[in-house]
Amino acid sequence: MEFFAVKGGRPLEGTVAVHGAKNSALPILAATLLARGESVLHNCPDLTDIQTALEILAALGCRVRREGRTVLVDTTDCTGTAVPDELMGRMRASVLFLGSLLARGGEAAASWPGGCALGARPIDLHIRAFQALGTEVLDREGRLLCRTRGLRGCRMALPFPSVGATENAMLAACGAAGVTIIHNAAREPEIQDLQGFLRSLGADVRGAGTGEIVIRGGVPLHPGEYTIMADRIVTATYLCAVAAAGGEGEFFGSDGAALLPVLDALEQTGCRIRREPDRVRIWQAGKAAGIGSVTTGPYPGFPTDAQPLLAAVLAGGRGETRITETIFDSRFRYVESLRTMGARIRVEGTTAWITGTPLRGADLEADDLRGGAALTIAALGAEGESRILSPFHIDRGYERLEKAFQALGGRIRRMNE
């Protein structure tokens, strides 16, 4: 059994480079299918979710190789149209390959996607986007079959600014005849990164970062070369670790512009933060103070992925905070483990009330990616020793998280028994 062994109670100090963004790399890897030939992606993180995406590409007939942080994808011989069930079950973002497959060849098939158990995460918005573009979508005993005789541009309005649905609509629209306009599109920085890569392929896409994205489809595409943005949630994780344990840290690769709500919340806890063009610095002396209330929301609101990270800081601090979750209905799964450490947290529906108190080490189960990272943060700030079980969930979104925390002086090791 693999686990993280953590000894808390020591302030952190050091410098760490932030790796590429998982939530940018996944749709960009899917987008390589749009152009025949070899595309080159720099700063592509080495994560289990990324490995799953590369295996999907290989199963579809692509040639894939990694050279350090650079991944090369040659789609010349790609003839597959179905994502293997086993790979689809590993990761929810596997659904993003459907939009690219439809644009490439007019056909795509996959089982329902897997991933972290965060409650209801329907893909009906993806399906509605495909249908609006002229795709027939059938459900055959839990398997999605998507076919089109020709995608056609359209206007579509998403009832909710879903990141995945926006990305899938953008990918499919690149292969549609005419102009597609996506209203109420997600505005996340990762959407802008996808637009950047699509433009490197020669696609005519504009508006990412706003609520309206316009794609002129049918444009001849060619392979591209692109550098993936730094991961803003990984940056938030490192910042929250220092906020929980105390000390100071410097994190290269991000200027923090995509994390303003998180930086604001951390400053309210008592942290000092300085943004520079290529890095973010943080100082924390003493225990984090309660900050009143935080509500998650679509970008530019407080990111749901950072909610467990901030909760771990506040649980071991002082004072009271109310956190309301508006994106995922089971995002508070990590709370029970924090209670095992002595945390005083009350959850009612979509709201958690946190009263800061000293935490103690315990054996903890990482049930999902961000919840597992939050437990690791809490363990670094707690007194005594903790074991974080099932770190494979954490590995889905972090390159050897224990190594980053070791670089900050954290007493953490990956162990087997």
Q: Which of 44, 62, 78, 116 is catalytic?
A: 116
Amino acid at 348: E
- Starting at the earlier edge strand, list the strands of the sheet with 292-295: 292-295, 320-324, 351-355, 344-348
Q: Is 87 helix (H, G, I), strand (E, B) or coil?
A: helix
Instruction: Give helix 22-31 / helix 48-59 axis angle, nearest 10°.
Output: 10
- ∠ CA 136-138-140, nearest 5°, is 160
Helix, strand or coil, per DSSP, at residue 157: strand
Whole-angstrom Cα distance, residue 415 to residue 377? 18
In three-state secondary structure terms, 331 is helix
Tokens of 104: 């490439």
- Alpha-carbon dihedral of residues 338, 343, 347, 353, nearest 10 degrees? -130
Using DSSP, state whether 244 is helix, strand or coil: helix
Helices (H), 271-368: 307-315, 335-340
Q: Specify the 3-state DSSP secondary structure of 383.
A: strand
Residue 161: phi and psi, rounded to 5, are: -75, 65
Please check whether residue 389 is in contact with residue 370, taking contact to mean a CB–CB distance below 8 angstroms: no
3-state secondary structure of 52: helix
CA gap 376, 59 in Å, rounded: 34
116 is catalytic: yes
DSSP annotation of 290 reads P
Strands 2-7, 385-389: pairing is: antiparallel
Cis amide prior to 300 (ω within 30 degrees): yes
Nearest alpha carbon to residue 322 among 287, 288, 350:
350
Which residues are known catalytic residues?
Answer: 116
